[in-house]
Amino acid sequence: MEMASYLAGERWSDHPACTHPLLAALARLVNDFTSDEARHRLAPLIPSVIGLNGDDLRVDARIALRAACTALPVVAADLQLAMAVSVLAAEQILAELDGRPQDDLSEMSARALEQAPLAAEGARKLRRGIRVSSRGFRRFAAPNTVQLAARGIANACVADPNRLLRELLEHSIADSRATLGADSPAETVETGRENRRETGRMSADADA
């Protein structure tokens, strides 16, 4: 995220304004939980997060949903219920935003819940009659889902957790870009370069 801030022409920071806060949080988590040997494979994704920002709650919901669906089939049993609840909560938010029935699950969600039937049953019981607010989802539920999912995947008994983490980030970037209709990574990086050149020219003029 620090390199993304530089490429976007911003002040050096791991919380750049050019990237949606939840997507940036996921990127930081994936970076932190990826092994030293595999971290270099994340570098090609850096330009892809630039320019992906906006207020559409669908971005938060789809990132959280992607994280929960990726984690649910592989995390330890004590985390599966939380991930199943997160799947249903994200689907509730999306259903409200899209104007569709609450029980109309996406194929991704249905497939993930089918792979953890006990957790899915428990989540449906817990969620019965409970509605998460948009504000509560954005501020608490979605960030907690992303954090638990990344940690759970990193500690999962799977052959290559690094691959799962990278794919989670890749898919979340693609979901965010599709939702926001953002410019291509090349266009946003070029805009950042122009911003840095303009800042340099302004600094030189001021010194003169």
Residue pLDDT, tens place only, 150-168 = 999 999 999 999 999 999 9
Please determine, for residue 10, whether its predicted confidence score (pLDDT) is greater than 90.
yes
Q: Which is more confident, 102 or 187?
A: 102
Please determine, for residue 183, whether its predicted confidence score (pLDDT) is greater than 70.
no
The count of other CB atoms within 10 Å of the CB of residue 159 is 8
As a whole number of angstroms, the distance between CA 162 and CA 150 comes to 10
pLDDT, position 206? 44
- What is the CA 66 to chain-centroid distance, rounded? 7
For residues 15-32, one letter each, b for 16 or more C-beta atoms within 10 angstroms of the residue's C-beta and e for the rest, the string is ebebbbbbbbbbbbbbbe
Closest CA to 119 of 107, 109, 134, 130: 109
Please determine, for residue 200, whether its predicted confidence score (pLDDT) is greater than 90.
no
Of the pLDDT bands very low, low, confident and very high (cuts 50, 70, 90), residue 184 is: very low
pLDDT, position 156? 98
Residue pLDDT, tens place only, 79-94 = 999 999 999 999 999 9
Residue pLDDT, tens place only, 51-77 = 999 999 999 999 999 999 999 999 999
Could you tell me the CA-to-CA distances from 14 to 3, 17, 31, 176 in Å, in that order?
Answer: 8, 10, 11, 19
Query: For the chain, what percent of residues have pLDDT higher than 70?
Result: 87
Q: Which residue has the tokens 């992607």?
A: 66
Please determine, for residue 46, whether its predicted confidence score (pLDDT) is greater than 80.
yes
Please determine, for residue 185, whether its predicted confidence score (pLDDT) is greater than 90.
no
Residue pLDDT, tens place only, 109-137 = 999 999 999 999 999 999 988 889 999 99
Of the pLDDT bands very low, low, confident and very high (cuts 50, 70, 90), residue 186 is: very low
pLDDT (average), residues 97-105: 92
